[in-house]
Amino acid sequence: MRIPYSISKSGMKAQQQKLDALAHNIANVNTAGFKQKNVSFRELLVNDITEQDTLLSAEVNAAGLNRGVQSSVNGTDFSTGSLIESADNLSLTVNGEGFFGVTDNAGNLVLTKDGQFTLDEGNRLVNRRGQLVNADLTVPREAWPEGELTVSSEGNLLVKTTEGDVQVGRIPLYTVENPQALIPTGDNNFMVSPEQQATLTNSIDNPAAFGTFMSGVYEESNVDLAQSFTDMIMTQRAYSLNAQVTRSTDEIQSLINQFS
């Protein structure tokens, strides 16, 4: 009787992990640049059943009884979310595979798809959390002319003056060979693992391969709310079925104990 308990227990735990991931996705449906998490299931160890264990039909081949199921958050869906128009022309979206680079509070370079940027009091380009956006400046900030800062489709930082546009720098984009190996660090940021540091590249030498910039719009979360609620209902039912197996097994065990 221990095997049914083990199977249903692993089933409930696996479904609970999926529910947690779905709840996290749904909670961030309105978070700009959020990328939903994917959950996968895998079968645990399978014990082969032979004629020494039980009577088997001649038509049965490779019979076995597994020990349950396990789930895990195995990756991030980096597909593009809906584009939302913004009144701030420094809100940016990457039309391509590239990531923005920002410096987190610990001074580390992290990657993000959240392009809701603005200028702080020091004339620095930052995100909504005050983290500095990585940019290669050709003109020091204190020497920028008076005018509105804009971003071209190539990522050039331009100051609009009465005499024309003055380029003061450029925003590079970043990419890695395997985005699924990026480590989520919160705040829509992803850290490059030590194993991927050598593959981290930027768009300075080959901007066309990373995508183009779209200004005045930002990327919304890519969570499909309707699909997420459908998945949640199915997962809740699967959890309930595993719980019912546990109750039924317990009732059977109680009957057996009465006759023992």
Scored b (16 or more CB within 10 A) or e, 167-181 reads ebbbbbbbbbeebee
Q: At residue 1, does pLDDT exceed 50?
A: no
Q: At residue 168, does pLDDT exceed 90?
A: yes
**pLDDT for the residue numbered 67:** 64
Q: At residue 54, does pLDDT exceed 70?
A: no
Q: Element (H or E) spanning 111, and its range?
A: strand 109-112
**pLDDT for the residue numbered 166:** 94
Task: Give the amino acid at 248.
Answer: S
d(CA 230, CA 121): 45
pLDDT band at residue 249 using 50, 70 and 90 as cut-offs: confident
Tokens of 49: 């059943």
Q: At residue 57, does pLDDT exceed 70?
A: no
Q: Which residue has the higher pLDDT, 230 or 197?
A: 230
Side-chain half-sphere exposure of 55, counting CA atoms within 13 A: 0
Q: Mean per-residue pLDDT for 119-144?
A: 91
Q: Which residue has the higher pLDDT, 46 or 30?
A: 30
Q: At residue 91, does pLDDT exceed 90?
A: yes
Q: What are the backbone angles phi and psi of residue 25, rounded to the nearest 5°?
A: -65, -45
Q: At residue 63, does pLDDT exceed 70?
A: no
Q: At residue 53, does pLDDT exceed 60?
A: no
Report percent pLDDT > 70 for the chain. Answer: 88
Question: 3-state class of 246 per DSSP?
Answer: helix
